[in-house]
Amino acid sequence: MTAAHLTLLNLLAVERLEVDLFRGSGQGGETPTRIFGGQVIGQALASAYHTVEKRLCHSLHAYFIRPGDPSIPVIYQVDRARDGGSFTTRRVVAIQNGKQILNMSASFHVDEEGWSHQHQMPVVEGPETLADRSTLREAVLNKIAAPHRDEFLRERPIDIREVAPRDFFKPKPANDVNHLWFRMAAARGITAQLQHCLLAYASDMNLLGSALRPHGQTWFTGDVMAASLDHSMWFHGPTKFSDWHLYTMDSPWSGGGRGFNRGLIYNQNGSLIASVAQEGLLRKARRN
């Protein structure tokens, strides 16, 4: 297990301050300037799980209210909205400097049988032959300003393999449908609850970028101001995030300064284990 893996697992191991009050670190996620949205969702879900017994999350719905400051901790306040016979509901508020940065509702369900069907996993190239995130970034390191190169190449805990990676700096307009494989090998053997938290963390990766693809933009062109506005996720089946998962994404609409994105997450055996939806702010960056 590498230092990056330990950092992420420690981020999701929120500290209990009171019965329904928890604290999570803001440092160590995907970005250095603000807290990565998936990190706040993962910590909020971990906080809720501390108040739920013998039930797994089946859905969560979160609103990003303010950007998170990575230099200070985040406080998570859990409201035990309902403990029912089959479902448990929790509301989690993430707070920094006395202000809310995220509101999340999550529902937990007992394990029970029911009718079953799913859409089939798309047929795409497997992860074994695809370049990882580090390799793609090393290839364009000369285009990154020297003060930012260490952060650009910093080891990340989630192994990502894009099926059809685009040019970072001169992307061409492309179909909004896109696929990537991801996993964290160090997740082997952890609890089902923590598996969910890791998957929630990873579900925020690359999703918002789907709405940029038809417009020939990436985060590196300098023309985009973007932020996640909300994030919903439904868990359908057991997760073993140490194995490869296919994240297939699309963006059926953008307009009015917003982009809507969807994602389906399959395990390598083809079972659909989660669905995701997100809307994000997308504006042209202001230039001085």
Is residue 219 classed as helix, strand or coil in its secondary structure? coil
Residue 120 maps to a domain: no
Contacts of residue 60, defined as CB under 8 A and 6 or more positions apart, other chains included, come to 41, 45, 104, 105, 106, 107, 200, 232, 233
Q: Single out the residue of 284, 262, 283, 282 nearest to residue 274, CA to CA.
A: 262
The tens digit of pLDDT for each residue in 131-147 reads 999 999 999 998 888 88
pLDDT of 256-268, one tens digit each?
999 999 999 999 9
pLDDT at 215: 95
Is position 10 within any domain? yes
- Answer whether residue 187 is part of any domain: yes
pLDDT tens digits along 19-53: 999 999 988 778 778 899 999 999 999 999 999 99
* 123 domain residue, yes or no: no
119 located within any domain: no
The domain in which residue 151 lies consists of: 3-110+128-284
Structural domain includes residue 121: no
Residue 275 falls in the annotated catalytic set: no
Q: Which of 25, 105, 217, 228 is catalytic?
A: 228
Tokens 């798309």 sit at which residue? 122
What total number of domains does the chain contain?
A: 1
Residue 288 has pLDDT above 70, yes or no: no
Asked about 118 being catalytic, the answer comes back as no
The tens digit of pLDDT for each residue in 170-208 reads 999 999 999 999 999 999 999 999 999 999 999 999 999
Query: Is there a domain that residue 262 lies in?
Result: yes
| Residue 159 belongs to domain with CATH number | 2.40.160.210
Which of the following is catalytic: 105, 204, 217, 232?
A: 204
pTM of this prediction exceeds 0.85: yes
pLDDT of residue 80: 98
- The answer to the question of residue 241 being in a domain is yes
Known catalytic residue: 204?
yes
Dist. CA 9–CA 13, nearest whole Å: 6
